[in-house]
Chain A
Amino acid sequence: MFRSDASKLSLILLMTPFVLWIGLLIVLPQLGIGYISLREKVGPREYELGLANYIDFINEPIYWNTLLRTAWMSILVTALALLVGFPVAYYIAKIAQQRSRAALFLLCLIPLWVSDLVRAFGWIVLLRETGVVSGMLQTAGLISGPVELLYNDVTVVIGLVYTVVLFMIVPLFSTLDGMDNSLLEAGYNLGGSRVTVFRRIVVPYAMPGIVAGCIITFMLTAGSYLTPILLGGKNSSWFTEQIYDQFITRYNWESGATFGVLLLGFTSFVVWLGLRLTGQSLANTVAKE
């Protein structure tokens, strides 16, 4: 009797911080922006509930074009990160010598510990008109005058892939690391070509890592703010920039909250779709890190 009371008490004590945290900082605030997004201003300090903010969004091509552009670029960045990251993860997990493996892995992680801001700043120093790359190209005689390499979509994509590729490599590495080489051998012995073995053995084995990596990189890209703005300049038309603009610059919280809900809804939908299509669960993929 005493024991069960004590364990009930400790359950309540342990539950309290969790409930306060998730309730006050996650659930209620999300409901809060949902509520504000449904509020339309009809007069000074007078509001009505309705879908007007969403209708405004649909009627203004600039807004939904920005969302589509952000979505499309995020998917592109995710695909590129997978393409760039997979060989790297495979090399470190399967090809590198046991001894150099840890060092290579750590080397991959170093940029992770440097702020986004520093990384973006590094790209600026490299790529701007008076930057290092432009200077080097001039010295090499390949171009005659300074060339501006910033403020275009290619640079934004390169910068974004740079920011997120590590989040792709880490889950890929941990799944590939668990793969037994005898699986590959068996595949070859049964007459599989390199392509077949890769497609039928390596990829299915790495699937949880691929899904986890893609989800994390997609979320990070769609939610990124610094890289598109600093590398893309004022006209980067990134959706988070719109949100910031509505909230902080124009003080239009109603439409800012609407954009927030739309971005969250959209990214959650993509994540859900990804998990659904591959039969994975959130706890299995993202939480493994």
Chain B
Amino acid sequence: MNVAAPQSPFLRWVYGGYMFAFFIYLAAPLTAAGVFAFNDSLFPSLPWNGFTLDWFFNDTEPKLGMFYDRRLLRGLEVSLYVGLIVSALSVAAGTCNAFLFERKEFPFKAALHVLMIVPLVIPGVILGISILVFASIVANGVEETMSWDWDMLRPGLFLVILGQFSFLTTITSLVIAARLRKFDIALEEAALNLGATRVRVLATVTLPYLAPAMFSAFVVAFLVSFENFNTTLMLVGSDAPLTITMYDRMVKVGSTPVLNAVSVFLMLGSGLLALLSVVVQRERKQP
């Protein structure tokens, strides 16, 4: 008998019903976004006119599929590009931070650790505008003193990358540090005693041990970067990532089933990536 569960059958039934309702609530909007990608209609709404894949693969207006829609494809490309760069950078910085906070002693360590977490609790919009403002202060300063136009610091992909990097690094640092904390330092000592150099120990013992955590940090960073909207919106220039392109389309054209198709694509994509990361995690549990 589970002491935590309600004792009367009626209450147990009510509780079960609540859980069921909750999962319906979770699934409803995602299902709605997904299902209408396959409806043979110009609007993502009832009635159901039959199954079609046109919103993915059709190459003519008015039912231009997402894989023939230049702007959406361009957005996808930009998102992939930004996501890969940002994840690589934030995993690299996160690994350094993990070593810094797990292995080193230095003054104000506790305060700096709090500072490391802070980016997670700053609203994304504020991160965006603050980086926008700071970059343009720097750019104006450079322009005035050296009369050198630093285009990079104007809204555009470089700033988008910096903006996403600023909070993703916190996430990767925490993930990698958690793994490093569990590392048995005796393994390193053994390798050192056997005559390995520090660099060699790092490359052959410590980093391979961290690899699964680095991989999941990469996946998480990539997914979050791909989905990010708030920070990106403030920093974006003419080249827009997919979420921004999609939002533009939604506001200017209104909802069309091609957006449902993109939603399906995104759900499948992130589902697969999340699954991959779970599989990698599971493998590392088996000795």
Contacts and interface: CB of A to CB of B under 8 A. Distances in A.
B243 interface: yes
B274 A125 contact: no
A116 B31 CA distance: 14
A99 to B, nearest CB: 14
A32 interface: yes
Interface residues of B, number: 83
B25 A14 contact: no
Contact of B120 (A29, A136, A247, A286): A286
Nearest to A19: B112
Interface in B84-125: 92-93, 96-97, 99-100, 104, 106, 110, 112-125
Contacts of A131: 45
Interface string B21-47: 011011011111100100000011111
B130 A29 contact: yes
Interface in B112-142: 112-127, 129-134, 137
Contacts of B165: 21, 25
Given A17-B97, A283-B113, A114 B267 contact: yes
A117 B247 contact: yes
Interface in A1-36: 6-7, 10-11, 13-15, 17-18, 21-22, 24-30, 32-33, 35-36
A282 B3 contact: no
Interface in A74-122: 84, 87-88, 90-91, 94-95, 106-111, 113-122
A225 B117 contact: no
A97 to B, nearest CB: 9
Given A94-B4, A130-B45, A223 B125 contact: yes
Nearest to A25: B166
A287 B230 contact: no
A57 B32 CA distance: 41
Given A115-B226, A240-B125, A287-B117, A11 B106 contact: yes
B234 A18 contact: no
Contacts of A35: 137
A132 B46 contact: yes
- Interface of chain B, helix or strand or loop or mixed? helix
A125 B45 contact: yes
A30 B130 contact: yes
Nearest to A182: B3
Contact of B45 (A91, A132, A240): A132
Contacts of A268: 121
B4 A181 contact: yes
Given A29-B134, A95-B5, A260-B129, A114 B106 contact: no
B133 A126 contact: no
Contacts of A11: 100, 104, 106
Given A122-B32, A230-B250, A225 B43 contact: no
Nearest to B47: A135
A118 B33 contact: yes
B13 interface: no
Interface centre among A26, A106, A257, by most B CB within 10 Å?
A26
Nearest to A188: B3
B227 interface: yes
B169 interface: yes
A162 interface: yes
B19 A91 contact: yes
A114 B270 contact: yes
A225 B128 CA distance: 12
Contact of B96 (A17, A118, A260): A17
B260 A184 contact: no
Contacts of B230: 223-226, 240
25 contacts: A14-B100, A15-B100, A17-B92, A21-B93, A25-B119, A25-B166, A27-B115, A29-B131, A32-B134, A87-B15, A113-B227, A114-B267, A115-B229, A117-B243, A117-B250, A126-B28, A128-B45, A131-B45, A162-B25, A215-B121, A225-B229, A225-B233, A230-B250, A257-B133, A263-B126
* Closest A-B pairs by Cβ, 5 of them: A223-B123, A122-B29, A29-B130, A122-B33, A94-B4
